[in-house]
Amino acid sequence: MSVRVRIAPSPTGNLHIGTTRTALFNYLFARHEGGTFVLRVEDTDRERSKSEYTENILTGLKGLGLNWDEGPGAAEPHGPYFQSERQDLYHAALQGLLDQEKIYPCFCTPEELQVERSAAETAGVTYVYSRKCRELDADTVSARIASGDKKVYRLKVRDEEVVFNDLIRGEIRIDASLIGDIIIARGDFNPMYNFAVVLDDIQMQISHVLRGEDHISNTPKQILIYEALGAELPRFGHSAMMLAPDRSKLSKRHGATSVQDYLAMGYLPEALINYLALLGWSPPDTQEIFSLDELVQAFTLERVTKAGAVFDIEKLKWVNTQWMRRLGPEGLWPRIKPLLEAQGFDLSQQPESWWIETVRLVLDKLVVLPDYLHQCDFLMQAALVGKPEDIQKAYALSSAAPVLDAFSAGLETLENWDLPSLQAEFEQLKTALPYKVKDIMWPVRAAITGRVAGADLMQSIVLLGRERSLNRLNQALDQLKVQAQTQE
């Protein structure tokens, strides 16, 4: 069987991480099996569907590397790929079912259905539609349609078990008599979700329907519609839901839920894809860091888990740090550059090699991309701002003034402004001064970076340059003199 899978997002919001994981599993399965990945847009909710959401979804999937083989902007042999453009196809199929007497108009009002539902609740049984409109004769149906009575169309459902072998969960059996005659279209032949998705999957020749477990309840209904249409069933597979830390369904109340949110926070696309793959899929060995190509090679449905997958932001952070290291300074610089440009920094003031070295300086301290702005701000500030509490703590040391005076004088005469020369000078000054290492390094670091901890100090001084480094040491000395005079 040629593998053909699809992702069918609804453009009623930005690209959700749950939708993204479903798309990822379909993409990985298709690529692993040498199959076709189809994208279809389910935009029949006219009030909530918006073009900007469609654009966000399509752009987001492409930005994550989940490129589709068929669909908007790609090959369209089974189009159109927007449900809003497929209404004639739905109407024709529904008319065919009506002609074959496989569906029938139901004129029951909401009030009548509520009476039935209340009776079932009183009796303590599962409510199933009574099918009373199924028994109406042709003349009565014609008369009610002619009089303009509101209606929907129901599928005649057989009272037998619906059985399917879920690729992830095994055999699932559901008693169709507890489903009843399902509504598949409104009175104007606008299809309900279950009918539209089945017809789309038939006409797009989808071989495997891989989706979240929240769709398990839809599957027997869709199987009944497949049978009514005389179509071959696809294989179904339902992965576990993505859960919040409290094991409830992940929602906005737990924090960010869209791909755009996480990318805006500075998570790398590679890391987000990597982490989502680990939510509900068990790697074949202890490896946890995968590129998209590596995931394609390793992915099989047999290793998709049944248990709910808890979204752990700390694990995502860890995966992101691993990808930061994997990309390295050269790979990260193009990702960081737009952040600096957005802040108005003039990047032409330094060669690109300098900027890349600044990334190397703080790489082991980065969790998300904006961390660079906080770690390297002292290199980009004309006038040092830093952390006032750190500066105050460092300058309060009795060693501060003599240490800064010695370092200013020692670095002023340094012939070569490079790392070996600075290291040698630092060692000589630390040996000559009668203070503990902390009492030496805190004032120097505070004067240079505005902090008492951070990236390698001597590498920072190399990148800051002779002039700015000496200016900061001298400004710190001036500040200490003012403080001393104030205290007198």
What is the pLDDT, as a whole number, of residue 487?
A: 72
Asked if residue 301 and residue 429 are part of one domain, the reply reads no
Q: What is the mean pLDDT of residues 419-423?
A: 96
CATH number of the domain where residue 423 is located: 1.10.10.350
Is 20 part of a structural domain of the chain? yes
Omega of the bond prior to 434 within 30 degrees of 0, cis?
A: no
Is 319 part of a structural domain of the chain? no
Asked if residue 342 and residue 281 are part of one domain, the reply reads no
Q: What is the mean pLDDT of residues 429-441?
A: 95
Is 424 part of a structural domain of the chain? yes
Sign for the pseudo-dihedral over CA of 174, 175, 176, 179: negative
- Percent of residues, the chain, with pLDDT higher than 70: 98
Q: What is the mean pLDDT of residues 68-88?
A: 96
- Tell me the CA distances in angstroms from 24 to 68, 257, 277, 301, one per residue in order: 11, 16, 7, 12
What is the pLDDT, as a whole number, of residue 246?
A: 81
Lowest mean pLDDT among 60-69, 82-91, 146-155, 305-314: 305-314
What is the pLDDT, as a whole number, of residue 269?
A: 97
Give the global pTM.
Answer: 0.92
Average pLDDT, the chain: 94
Using 50, 70 and 90 to split pLDDT, how confident is the model at 299?
very high
- List 132, 252, 436, 481, catalytic entry: 252
| Residue 156 annotated to the active site | no
Is 382 part of a structural domain of the chain? no
What is the pLDDT, as a whole number, of residue 253?
A: 64
Residues in the chain: 488
How many Cα atoms occupy the beta-carbon half-sphere of 66 within 13 Å? 34
What is the pLDDT, as a whole number, of residue 36?
A: 98
Query: Domain ends where: 239, 260, 295?
Result: 239
Asked if residue 472 and residue 421 are part of one domain, the reply reads yes
What is the pLDDT, as a whole number, of residue 308?
A: 85
What is the pLDDT, as a whole number, of residue 368?
A: 98
The Cα 382–Cα 219 span in angstroms is 63
Q: What is the mean pLDDT of residues 33-50?
A: 93
Contact 295, 28 (CB under 8 A): yes
Domains of the chain: total: 4
**What are 375-385's pLDDT values in tens digits?**
999 999 878 88
Which amino acid, one-letter code, is at 436?
K
Is 381 part of a structural domain of the chain? no
Asked if residue 62 and residue 31 are part of one domain, the reply reads yes
What is the pLDDT, as a whole number, of residue 255?
A: 59
**What are 117-132's pLDDT values in tens digits?**
999 999 999 999 999 9
Chain centroid to Cα 289, Å, comes to: 17
Asked if residue 90 and residue 78 are part of one domain, the reply reads no
Phi, psi (deg, nearest 5) at residue 154? -110, 145
**What are 331-368's pLDDT values in tens digits?**
999 999 999 999 999 999 999 999 999 999 999 999 99
Asked if residue 257 and residue 176 are part of one domain, the reply reads no
**What are 271-293's pLDDT values in tens digits?**
999 999 999 999 988 999 999 99
Residue 488 pLDDT more than 70? no
DSSP classification of residue 282: -
Neighbours of 437 (CB within 10 A): 9
Query: Domain ends where: 220, 239, 258?
Result: 239
Contact 15, 54 (CB under 8 A): no
Is 413 part of a structural domain of the chain? yes
Is 172 part of a structural domain of the chain? yes
What is the pLDDT, as a whole number, of residue 245?
A: 82
Using 50, 70 and 90 to split pLDDT, how confident is the model at 110?
very high
Asked if residue 230 and residue 100 are part of one domain, the reply reads yes
The Cα 375–Cα 385 span in angstroms is 13
CATH number of the domain where residue 41 is located: 3.40.50.620
What is the pLDDT, as a whole number, of residue 214?
A: 92
Packing angle between helix 437-449 and helix 466-487, nearest 10 degrees? 110
What is the pLDDT, as a whole number, of residue 254?
A: 58
Asked if residue 200 and residue 57 are part of one domain, the reply reads no
Phi, psi (deg, nearest 5) at residue 72? -55, 130
Chain centroid to Cα 40, Å, comes to: 19
Asked if residue 219 and residue 92 are part of one domain, the reply reads yes
**What are 386-416's pLDDT values in tens digits?**
889 999 999 999 999 999 999 999 999 999 9
What is the pLDDT, as a whole number, of residue 45?
A: 84
Asked if residue 267 and residue 306 are part of one domain, the reply reads yes
Q: What is the mean pLDDT of residues 140-151?
A: 96
Q: What is the mean pLDDT of residues 249-262?
A: 77
Nearest one of 232, 290, 298, 308 to 18, comparing CA atoms: 308
Asked if residue 228 and residue 111 are part of one domain, the reply reads yes
Residue 231 pLDDT more than 90? yes
Q: What is the mean pLDDT of residues 64-91?
A: 96
Asked if residue 146 and residue 46 are part of one domain, the reply reads no
What is the pLDDT, as a whole number, of residue 103?
A: 98
Question: Residue 57 is part of which domain span?
Answer: 4-82+243-310
Is 9 part of a structural domain of the chain? yes
